[in-house]
Amino acid sequence: MGKVKELWIRLFRKFAPEELIFDIPQEREMLVSGTVPSDGVGALLGVSYAGKTTVSLNLAHCVSSGANTFLGKSINYHGDCLYISGEGLSKAIKDFNIYKAMTPSKHQIFFYKPENKTLHDPQTVDEIINQFKGIRFELIVIDTMQSCSLGANENSNDDSTAFAENADRLREELGGTVLITHHIGKNDAKKNEIIPRGGTGLTDRADFTLGLLKDKDDENKRLLVSPKSRNQPVDEETEFWLTNHEVYLEIQHPLKKIKRTIDSSITIPRSFEEYEHFKNVGRFDFSKDTPCHHPNKLKATAEGQDQEKELSPNRSVHLVDNSAA
């Protein structure tokens, strides 16, 4: 049906008078080819600890940084992103500091926490729209539906539908794709079925649905499946792996003579090629000795030995300060 519609639009543009076609919107490509549609409301569903936050934050970073790919698939649009979290922002901001050390961002990620508020409430949505009025986002992440819907009944189709409709208001006013993370029921997860926990209003109202499944044999492997896409065709599944790295990062404040260090770890979703490249890297060292003048290399420690890993051109070492975030 989509190809027939596209053919009719092309014929209409070619033969119709100009005054009749000036207001027909140009159809956009997918945000991530074959994986994430653009300009719609979608749900990313998975069990606890499947990596929903890891995947959604990494997607936001890739879209804002100008990265070429996400999970090995081409990214067609880049821009500012809004990350709304009801589960606390400290880890998300810490991970974002590390991401920005690995890849300088061309655009911004704005973090927002709806303190003691629910996105079921139109007034909360109005506050978000007014706070970010004038900014056109390419991606808005809501993580998670449960933590951003205090006081709502998760089992109510009416409540979950209201949540999705308010998310669509954010899309209409602030632009871009809205991706809402939510849980899969335990019994459904055992059957590898992508059914949301509680009411189905979110997935009924959503333009697309993504399911995040764990592999039974490989604890690091994940499968991203697309059971629903209303407007744009998607690939049936995308394989990727979660790689965990220790990280040491020194951040020099741009105005004050102080340094802040992060000695932690980060989990990064990677395509098979990236996974094979990085799976033996145990530690990333973004200290003052990091060769920042070599933009396509970084210092890493693999199996106790220092070595330099060659990165793709869109990943470079860049120390930043995000203390104000």
pLDDT at position 139 is 96
HSE-CB at 269 with a 13 A cutoff on CA atoms is: 27
What would be the CATH architecture of the domain defined by 2-13+29-240?
3-Layer(aba) Sandwich (3.40)
Contacting residues for 265 by C-beta, under 8 A, at least 6 apart: 244, 245, 246, 247
Contacting residues for 156 by C-beta, under 8 A, at least 6 apart: 198, 199, 201
pLDDT at position 308 is 40
pLDDT at position 299 is 41
In the three-class reduction of DSSP (H, G, I as helix; E, B as strand; rest coil), residue 7 is classed as: helix
pLDDT at position 144 is 86
**Peptide bond preceding 144: is omega within 30 degrees of 0, i.e. cis?**
yes
**Distance from C-alpha of 268 to C-alpha of 278, rounded to nearest angstrom:** 10
Across-strand partners of 124?
none
* Per-residue tokens: 7: 């053919």
Residue ranges covered by each domain of the chain: 2-13+29-240, 242-310
Each residue's pLDDT tens digit in the chain (325 positions)? 444 555 555 555 455 555 444 444 455 678 999 889 888 899 999 988 899 999 999 999 999 988 889 988 999 999 999 999 887 777 787 787 777 777 777 788 888 888 777 888 899 999 999 999 889 999 999 998 888 888 788 888 888 888 999 999 999 999 889 999 998 876 555 555 677 787 888 888 888 999 999 988 998 999 998 888 877 777 778 999 998 877 776 666 556 566 666 667 788 898 888 888 777 766 666 654 333 323 333 444 443 334 444 333 333 333 222 333 3
pLDDT at position 25 is 47
pLDDT at position 182 is 92
